[in-house]
A and B are shown apart, each in its own frame.
Chain A
Amino acid sequence: MNRKAKNKSPNLRVNLAGISLRNPVMVASGTFGYGEEYAELIDLNRLGGIITKSITLKSRLGNQPPRIYETPSGILNSIGLQNVGIDSFINEKLPFLKRYNIPLIVSIAGDSSDEYVELAKILGREKVEGLELNLSCPNIKYSKKLMFAQDPKMACEVVSKVRKRTHLPLFVKLSPNVTDIASIARICEQAGADGVSLVNTFQAMAIDVESRKPILSQVTGGLSGPAIKPIALRMVYEVHRVVKIPIIGVGGIMTARDALEFIVAGAKAIAIGTGNFVDPQTSIKIVEGIRDYMVKNKIGDIRWLVGSLQSPKG
């Protein structure tokens, strides 16, 4: 590469609540395990960051199969937070991830605010860059029937309690299964969140009409994939109008153009979920596609694009 071309190379680096990402493209929680499987297929060091599969204090077996079902342009899943638990994560999974030079955001999930606090304290002693509070898994049972991200009081309680006990950047994974996602995002910001990730999956179902039984063992599951992208995008747009903290945009992103839509709507970073299953190279291709777009449109720095949505008139 000659000097001139180098100077023209656009800057994709973003600062996400103090975490420096080499590009805004991350992989979403629950779709990338703990990196081991995809490390055989792609160069992890080219990703902006990894958000791990959610970890709980104790290991969880997960839900009874069937757990997945394909719908037009989407996937229904009901995995049920199957994971190895925090101790095995630290001893068996984290050392592998730390071999890579890539920011790590660990997703945590609990049954109570105290469990989130406990997990945050344990991870505060490890070399990780941030925490994502999964307050929005649609596939586990909650004592008050609502996910924490559907209950403003509980969301506020979890975020503020964890905030007091950790210096790690805190991102809150929001649920789209609410009337007003922007107000929940505001509450999380006021409670001390450093950023919000949106959205988790949409509660949905499918039925086998021959047996007239639900396809998934848990009756309902969470819908992801291109089917939800326009709704996720609208939600990012709405949240961006009311919060100052950075947004990680998630929801059916398959291409660089999809990613750019989220960035223009206000996402400072984006995460690929279902796209990893369809093509393991999705995230890498999106990094390249964003760079190509910036070169073509003479945009020197990705920051200029974040929230750059123009008025429909004029």
Chain B
Amino acid sequence: MHLDGEILENSEVGPERYKLVVYCPQIAREAKPGQFVHIRVSEGYNPLLRRPFSVHRVRGQEFSILYKVVGKGTEILSRKKKGEYLDILGPLGQGYRLAELASNISQSILVAGGTGVASLLFLAESILASGSKLPILVLIGAKNREEILCERDFRRLGCRVEVATEDGTTGYKGLVSQLLEKLLSPRETPRKPLVFACGPQEMLKRIGEISRRYRFSCQVSLEERMACGVGACLGCAVRVKNSPYIYKRACKDGPVFDIGELIWE
């Protein structure tokens, strides 16, 4: 859908990290966790393309995104004020598959790196809303204490939360992937966790290795550069296994993929 949304809030929630809340009933109604919105931040030609953001939360007729200022597009977005309107395409893409949360699953583990946490809060809320009684463990990783986002939001939902920082200013000192491995039971158990992860590619690669060793399935949400966002331009190609491989589109076939099908470039 191609829509206009009114900005209700655009506030700094961490260093160069913002939360943007938009009034847009259609997206609030339709969005599934892991899907994204494609926002035009400027009416001019520089930047020219829209910017994709995972849906972070849905509340009534509002949805929010959580983003970090990484370039010109997000910098312009961070200066938008309450009351301004945004040109939005969405919700787009294939989100997390909750149907895989079946009886043979021991728990869901949500692993976030940096602002990758954005889509996982919406996922946790949706898992709970689905009536699933499975425990949810949330692992949040960042460089330092200040960059850890949403810890309290997950706790409020009743999730168990563990934090990892690279400098050790809070929680486990090290990478969130190392924390994941530390918390996994080394025993062979019939029931495996189902892991959902979003974060930098290096983090996802490490989780891929762990998933092979411990034999759990894992759905990852990829952050790729996109042009059209709807599957036409074939710019956001992702290499997946298919004797030997084919390219899928992060925007249309993803952004959520099974970690086992990905071939990292």
Q: Which stretch in A7-15, A67-75, A125-133 binds the other chain?
A: A67-75
Q: Are A226 and B232 in contact (CB under 8 A)?
A: no
**Is A79 in contact with B47, judged by CB distance below 8 angstroms?**
no
B38 nearest CB across to chain A (Å): 10
**Complex: A225 Cα to B44 Cα, angstroms:** 12
In the bound assembly, the distance between CA atoms of A77 and B226 in angstroms comes to 11
CB-based contact A62/B247 at 8 Å: yes
Question: Which residues of chain A are within 8 angstroms of B50 by Cβ–Cβ distance?
Answer: 277-278
B40 and A73 contact, CB distance less than 8 A:
no
* B232–A32 touching, CB < 8 Å: yes
Residues of A within 8 A of B87 (CB): 279
Instruction: State which residues 234-292 of A face B: CB under 8 Å.
Output: 254, 274, 276-281
List B contacts of A68 (CB < 8 A). Answer: 225-227, 233, 235-236
Q: Looking at the complex, which of A33-41, A91-99, A109-117, A301-309 is the stretch in contact with chain B? A: A33-41
Residues of B within 8 A of A33 (CB): 231-234
- Cβ-based interface call for A20 (8 A): no
Interface centre among B226, B228, B233, B238 (most CB of A within 10 A): B233
Let me know if B105 is at the binding interface, CB within 8 A: no
Contact B234 A62 (CB under 8 A): yes
Task: Let me know if A61 is at the binding interface, CB within 8 A.
Answer: yes
**Bound-complex Cα distance A32 to B228 (A):** 9
CB–CB A225/B235 < 8 A: no
CA separation between A33 and B236, bound complex, in Å?
Answer: 14
List of A residues within 8 angstroms of B246 by Cβ? 61
Q: Would A280 and B49 be within 8 Å (CB), given that A61-B247, A62-B237, A65-B237 are in contact?
A: no
C-alpha gap A140/B227 in the complex (Å)? 20
Residue of A nearest to B238 (CB): A65
**B192 in contact (CB, < 8 A):** no
| Distance of A28 Cα from B229 Cα, bound (Å) | 17
Determine if A73 and B234 form an interchain contact, defined as CB atoms under 8 angstroms apart: no
Establish whether residues B2 and A280, one from each chain, have CB atoms under 8 Å apart when the complex forms: yes
Q: Is the CB of B45 within 8 A of A225?
A: yes
A101 within 8 A of B: no
B231:A37 contact, CB within 8 angstroms: yes
* Partner pick for B48 among A32, A79, A217, A278, CB 8 A cutoff: A278
Q: Is A166 an interface position by the 8 A CB rule?
A: no
Cα A224 to Cα B89 in complex, Å, equals 22
A110 to B15, CA, bound (A): 52
Residues of chain B in range 21-80 having any CB-CB distance to chain A below 8 Å: 40, 45-50
- Is there a chain B Cβ closer than 8 Å to A190's Cβ? no
Q: Is B48 in contact with A226, judged by CB distance below 8 angstroms?
A: yes
Q: Mark A21-64, 1 if CB is under 8 A from B, else 0.
A: 00000000011110011101100000000000000000001111
A79 touches B232 (CB 8 A): no
Contacts of B47 in A (CB 8 A): 70
Number of A-B contacts (CB under 8 A): 101
Q: Find B232's partner among A63, A73, A276, A279 (CB 8 Å cutoff).
A: A276
The reply to whether the CB of B17 lies closer than 8 angstroms to some CB of chain A is no
Q: Let me know if B247 and A77 touch, CB within 8 A.
A: no
B89 contacts which of A63, A67, A73, A280 (Cβ < 8 Å)?
A: A280
List which B126-166 residues lie within 8 A (CB) of chain A: none
B230 x A41 contact (CB < 8 A): yes
B residues in contact with A37, CB < 8 Å: 228, 230-232, 252
Quick check: B234 and A67 within 8 Å, CB to CB?
yes
For the complex formed, measure the closest distance between the CB of B210 and the CB atoms of chain A, giving whole angstroms. Answer: 24
Contacts of A276 in B (CB 8 A): 228, 232
**Which residues of B are found within 8 Å of A67, using beta-carbon distances?**
234-237
Residue of A nearest to B228 (CB): A277
Q: Does A214 contact B (CB under 8 A)?
A: no
Return chain B residues, CB-CB under 8 Å to A69: 225
What's the minimum C-beta distance from B213 to chain A, rounded to whole angstroms?
Answer: 27
Does residue A18 face the partner (Cβ distance < 8 Å to B)? no
Contact at B48–A70, with CB atoms within 8 Å? yes
Q: Does B188 contact A (CB under 8 A)?
A: no
Please give 11 more A-B residue pairs, beta carbons under 8 A apart, in addition to A31-B233, A70-B47: A32-B232, A36-B231, A37-B228, A37-B232, A41-B1, A62-B247, A65-B224, A73-B48, A82-B247, A277-B227, A278-B48
30 CB < 8 A contacts A-B: A37-B232, A40-B230, A63-B237, A64-B239, A65-B238, A65-B265, A67-B234, A67-B235, A67-B237, A68-B225, A68-B233, A69-B225, A70-B49, A72-B45, A75-B48, A77-B233, A79-B233, A79-B234, A79-B237, A82-B247, A217-B265, A226-B45, A254-B45, A277-B49, A277-B50, A277-B228, A277-B229, A278-B48, A278-B50, A279-B40
